Every structure is written in C-alpha cells, then in structure tokens.
Amino acid sequence: MKPRPLKPGDTIGLIAPSSPPNLNQLEKGIKLYEGYGLNVKVGRSIRLVNGYLAGSDMDRADDLMEMFQDPEIKGVFCAYGGYGSARMVEYIDFNVIKANPKVFWGYSDVTFLHQVIYQRTGLVTFHGPMMSSDLGGEVHPFTETYLKQLFTPTTITYDSTISDLTVLNSNEKKKVSGPIVGGNLSLLVSSLGTPYEVDTKGKLLFLEDVGEEPYRLDRMFNQLRLANKLQDAKGIIVGDFHECEPFKRKESQDVDEVVTHHLSMAGTPAIIGMQAGHCTPTLSFPLGVMATIDLTERRISIEPGVEGE
C-alpha cells in the first residue's frame, strides 16, 4: 500500500516519537520543507521533555495517531531519533493508519515504527534524514535530491558509480528481488522475541547503525544470524556503519571483518557499501516496496514509494 505523493500547498505533520529534538536545528529543517511549498504542522510532542523521551509514551503515540487521523495532514515526519519509539507501539491503533495511508518518514530509532507499521498495515514508509538531527544545517545536494522522491514516483538506481560496492555469496545467482525492509541494526535486534519481531522471509534486508563498537555489532549480527533472520532473507543490503570504531579495546576486529564473517556464515547474497544511514550524504528510499540486487552488475534498484498524482 503506497501513499500518494505530496504536492506544493500540502500540510505535513511533524512529531517526535523518540527523544526531544534540538529546536534551533529543527527550525532550519522546517524551512527546508517550507521551501518545497509545504506547510508544516508541529505536533505537541516536539516540545515535551521527559528525560530522554519527548513526553510520555501516550503523548507521543497520541501525536502520531492525530497526524494520521487529521485529513489535512498528507505526510507524517519524524523530527529526531534517539530512543523511545518502541515504548509506544502498544498505544498505536494500526487500523487507523491502514485506513489513512500517508507518507511516513524517518530512520534510526524510527526503524521500530517502520517495521511494525509495514507488518501490521502493509503501508510503504520512507527511510530518510530528519529535520532536526540531519537537515538542521547545510544539506548535501545528493541528500536533497532523494528528499524529492515524495513529490513524484521515482525509481532509485544505486550502483558503484555512487560508492564502492562489494558482493558476497552470489552463489551463481545473477539477481535477487523482494520487498525491502530493515533499518537500524540495534532496533531490529531489539524486536526479536516480541510480538513485533522483524520478518525477513523472502525480503531484502537493509542494515545500518551508528556509534556501536565492533564487538557490539558482532553480538547483534550474531543474534540476527542465530535467529535465522539473515538466512531467511533473499538478499542483504549493508548501508553505512557510521563511527563504529573501537575505543574500549586496542585489539579489535573492524566493522568490515564483523559484517563479512556473519554474512558469509549466513550464505545469503549480499551487497555492501550503500551510502545510507547516519552518514553524509545519505540516500533516502522507501521501505516495503519491491527492490532488486543485481549481483553481477553490483546495482540496487528500488521501485517508487509513492503512487498516483
């Protein structure tokens, strides 16, 4: 289920489903979207502070639900990640979201909401930078290019002319295809064993993370592999693991060694090196749509995330 594209004059809703955003940076991000001709309605959770949370779990869930229920709101955007989106899923009415399909945009901690919304409603959502944490300063042209996929159906083609890409476990297959799911590795691992556990069967699994030491990434990849989530996927796309360097121990494997070890053990066809995640510049793309990894040409193709005019 794809949302309709945005158009100039539309109003989008801005929420903080996790931690409180930096309000000064947020204003700059809002101006960027206003420059596209959009109006921005700011939710109540934006200015609430409850320790590391933007208000109570109910506050944040109510904000999300109100934006999906409001017929004037054409898209729901997350201002910031941090921590907390998983705490509010029990207060979300997924039937309301399914009945009111709209653009839903964010990443990082928002990964938990992406996967749950897709699995409970079938709605295509968008993995992309947020107004406070990523768009509150100078925005790289590459990053901005992919923000504009919300205004017109856009097929994304990503190949080694953009960044170095490495293929593992091609197993004589030329291409693998499936709906693309995933996001932040630590959030996906946190879903295991819950009613909201990520489903990777027949999917292309995208993975990224930030600020995690290699041994912590090792633990998380190992848990995904032992839970058969890597093996169940038809293919794996590895994005950016930003600032994932060792600092507790001088003796350490690096990120590449950790990733290669677990993907090789899983045996699932994989492509490594997509510039997406907590990096700058970053690729935005829809989750839940069909995508293809061309293992021979080292190319990723992702179908449009919006539909109609």
Residues (pLDDT < 50) of the chain are none
pLDDT of residue 137: 83
Q: Which of 108, 133, 190, 284 is catalytic?
A: 108
108 counts as catalytic = yes
Q: Which domains does the chain have, with CATH numbers?
A: 11-139 (3.40.50.10740), 156-302 (3.50.30.60)
Name residues whose C-beta falls within 8 Å of residue 299's C-beta, 6 or more positions apart in sequence. 157, 158, 159, 160, 293
CA distance 129 to 289: 19
252 counts as catalytic = no
- The pTM score is 0.96
Handedness of CA 162, 189, 293, 153 (dihedral sign): negative
Our measurement of the distance from residue 89's CA atom to the centroid of its chain's CA atoms, rounded to an integer in Å, reads: 17
4-to-52, 79, 304 alpha-carbon distances in Å: 34, 21, 11
Where do we find the tokens 């779990």?
Answer: 57
208 counts as catalytic = yes
Q: Which of 114, 127, 262, 278 is catalytic?
A: 278
Q: Which of 208, 262, 284, 303 is catalytic?
A: 208
